Structure 1
Amino acid sequence: MGTENKVIRCKAAVAWEPGKPLSVEEVEVAPPKDHEVRIKIAASGVCHTDWTYLYDYEKGVKTRPFPLILGHEAAGVVESVGPGVTAVQPGDKVIPLFLPQCGECEFCLSPKTNLCFKNWSKTQHGVLADGTSRITCKGQQVYQFIGVSTFCEYTVVPEYNVAKIHRDAPLDKVCLLGCGVATGYGAALNVAKVERGSVCAVFGLGAIGLAAVMGCKAAGASRIIGVDINAEKHEIAKKFGVSEFVNPNDHSKPIQEVLVEMTSGGVDYSFECVGNITLMRAVFESCRVGWGTCVIVGWNETGSISLAPIDVLMGRTLKGTYFGGWKSVCSLPKLVEDYMSGRILLDEFVTHTLTLEETNHAFELMTNGKRFRTVIKM
């Protein structure tokens, strides 16, 4: 591409400090080092987690250093690779991943988990293996959000944080598999392991919640109850498989009591897709005593859930999920192919397509409930 081994100057939406709008700036993206890949980003979904780390101090934004380039749900094309990279080559279509899969650690070698902590502590603090970021602006290092940073026309990530995908995949759609859709969909299939004929409840019908609904439907659930305080989400939720809709604001009693009455004892599987500590307890209590399973999908790094021993002694199970249980590098290509063959939905999640300069507007759409997923096209 003529840029190999050279610094690339490009545009990025930079967060100079928490709580302040993003600023589109010219940045410099250094060439990849050993076992790193530089990617030309084509499209990036705007995830609620991006907003959280910019604006929501209560959920852990203080744990990320600034200045910072957000974005972690994207797809693009490999521009160049560093020494030792064998998995991908320039021109490959790829999805950069916030969750690595090194293929060598005890977690990667176990079928019991999708976690991998290769360089985890460093990427969580915005740097790569050598302790630095590959992006600078105005002579200052800019940190890479969870090691990725896709609100930038180019980024550099470790080779074990890259999934090579089908050459015909539409990048402005499959980018959603980099986080939200894969997380919700996998929560139902991989983590809850929803059984055919079961009754499910999904709390929070944003992109992750709708993806969880899609997973419940794919697993053969007979009844899928969508729970959200935004009544406008009812109709679109039907497209993904919701059979009934409940708005907590329409009821005088706690939502868990409403669901227990609706289902004559509670649901078989419940999913918290908001990241609200108070709601998590209600979602757990909506499960049926004896065998109900509650999966926490919504992200929150602070607070705690209070449970009494009797809550679990009577047979309920509380589980959590990170990236829907998918082993990232090897699972994403199959999910892309499932989309291309019509087995999963992606187009229906996209309500807005904006430019990099409009990223702040994407956050506004998110907070006023006017969108499911906004895609930023570079």
Structure 2
Amino acid sequence: MDKTSSFSIHEGKPIRCKVAISRKPGEALVIEEIYVDPPQPYEVRIKILCTSLCHTDLTFWKLDCGPLARFPRILGHEAVGVVENIGEHVDGFQLGDVVLPVFQPHCEDCKDCKSSKSNWCARFADDPLPNTRRYGMTSRFKDSFGEDIYHFLFVSSFSEFTVVDIAHLVKISSEIPVNKAALLSCGVSTGVGAAWKVADVEEGSTIAVFGLRTVGLAVAEGARLRGAGKIIGVDLNPDKFELALHVMFSWGELSRLQLQELNLDSFITHELKFEEINKAFDLLVQGKSLRCILWMDK
């Protein structure tokens, strides 16, 4: 069977699917069925295979005031999915492609995206407030009452289907285990990038890592790959905010990482069904989890 045949029935139409909605700050997520609109130009709709829970999700889940506190919202930004529907003017992606949605935009054309020293896209200024990258507050999610649901960091992976701008997508090899690949979209790339790009760790270096959650461990892993002679780690702030965009790899480099060189097994402490997402939140709140993989179809 052609790999795109199972994705054609909903082409250009809304699709009904299951999501985990954060309706009130700090309260348990609610599993509901909603409608996900078809993609607009420069967007694709993807079927999420698995998603991970990051400490940044936890931080925004707790927010009860300020412009970033928006509810109801679909959180989640570490995931792997398959392209199910393609909007107009989309180049480089086809139905059935395995993709990594990433919250940091990458236009591939501006001076910063082309630079080896920066990945802070100059074309798409980073602003986490809009729902969509090119269409502002227009939402692709509607609940059963027809009310809009807020997006999160242009990804919203706590959903069976989501719509993502191509500036936030990286195509990856289907041979990479998806549960490991999901970690590359945020925590691992941030930490490894800190060691390789910002600290520029050299062989034989002795480094100190402050904060040994996922990002801190990824810093240590990046330093190990660079040949650091000694790594000292201290976990001083378990509630730190992990949204460290400036130390991340460019997505072109990320897609070329040799996955076999990264010890990602140690980052995955739990794997659960998507319906158990509140258990995953509890584990993270209690400090018992680094990364919990949530499987959509298991």
With structure 1 as the length reference, what TM-score do the two structures score?
0.72
Residues 122/135 of structure 1: CA separation in 2 closer, same or farther (3 Å cut): farther
Residues 194/275 of structure 1: CA separation in 2 closer, same or farther (3 Å cut): farther
Q: Secondary structure at the match of 2:16?
A: strand
Match of 1:172 in 2: 179
Q: How big is the alpha-carbon RMSD for the aligned residues of Structure 1 and Structure 2?
A: 2.0
Match of 1:155 in 2: 162
Matched, 1:299 2:217: no
Match of 1:22 in 2: 29
AA aligned to 1:83 is: E
Matched, 1:75 2:80: yes
| TM superposition shift of 1:120 | 4.4
| TM superposition shift of 1:346 | 1.4
For the 8 Å contact 1:65–1:126, the answer to whether it is kept is no
| TM superposition shift of 1:371 | 1.4
The CA distance in 1 between the partners of 2:220 and 2:45, in whole Å, is: 35
Q: Secondary structure at the match of 1:102?
A: coil
For the 8 Å contact 1:135–1:142, the answer to whether it is kept is yes
More deviation, 180-189/117-126? 117-126
Percent identical residues = 43
Q: Deviations over 1:193-219 (max 9, x none)?
A: 012222111122221111111011111
Match of 2:3 in 1: none
Match of 1:324 in 2: 247
AA aligned to 2:104 is: L
The CA distance in 2 between the partners of 1:182 and 1:122, in whole Å, is: 20
Residue ranges of structure 2 left out of the alignment (5+ in a row): 1-6
Residues 325/179 of structure 1: CA separation in 2 closer, same or farther (3 Å cut): closer
Q: Secondary structure at the match of 2:221?
A: helix
| TM superposition shift of 1:122 | 6.0
| TM superposition shift of 1:348 | 2.0
Matched, 1:133 2:139: yes
The CA distance in 1 between the partners of 2:167 and 2:98, in whole Å, is: 15
With structure 2 as the length reference, what TM-score do the two structures score?
0.90
Q: Deviations over 1:203-249 (max 9, x none)?
A: 222211111110111111111112137xxxxxxxxxxxxxxxxxxxx
AA aligned to 2:245 is: Y
For the 8 Å contact 2:43–2:164, the answer to whether it is kept is yes
The CA distance in 1 between the partners of 2:195 and 2:127, in whole Å, is: 30
| TM superposition shift of 1:323 | 6.0
Q: What is the correspondence of 1:359-378 to structure 2 with a 5 Å cutoff? A: 359-378=277-296
Q: Secondary structure at the match of 1:188?
A: helix
| TM superposition shift of 1:175 | 0.5
Q: Which of 188, 204, 207 does residue 181 from structure 1 map onto?
A: 188
Q: What is the correspondence of 1:33-52 to structure 2 with a 5 Å cutoff? A: 33-52=40-59
| TM superposition shift of 1:103 | 1.8
For the 8 Å contact 1:213–1:224, the answer to whether it is kept is yes
Matched, 1:107 2:112: yes
Match of 1:334 in 2: 256
Moved over 6 A (4+): none
Give 1 or 2: higher helix fraction: 1
> Paired residues, what number?
287
The CA distance in 1 between the partners of 2:53 and 2:197, in whole Å, is: 24
Match of 2:276 in 1: 358
The CA distance in 2 between the partners of 1:205 and 1:357, in whole Å, is: 28
Residues 334/126 of structure 1: CA separation in 2 closer, same or farther (3 Å cut): same
Residue ranges of structure 1 left out of the alignment (5+ in a row): 230-272, 277-297, 301-320
| TM superposition shift of 1:11 | 0.6
Q: What is the correspondence of 1:136-285 to structure 2 with a 5 Å cutoff? A: 136-138=142-144, 139-228=146-235, 276=240
The CA distance in 1 between the partners of 2:77 and 2:270, in whole Å, is: 18
Q: Secondary structure at the match of 1:215?
A: helix
The CA distance in 2 between the partners of 1:374 and 1:31, in whole Å, is: 29
| TM superposition shift of 1:56 | 4.6
Q: Deviations over 1:14-42 (max 9, x none)?
A: 01122222111101111111010111000
More deviation, 199-208/179-188? 199-208
| TM superposition shift of 1:128 | 3.8
Matched, 1:93 2:98: yes
The CA distance in 2 between the partners of 1:344 and 1:13, in whole Å, is: 30
More deviation, 99-108/181-190? 99-108
Residues 38/366 of structure 1: CA separation in 2 closer, same or farther (3 Å cut): same
For the 8 Å contact 2:77–2:157, the answer to whether it is kept is yes
Q: Secondary structure at the match of 1:108?
A: helix
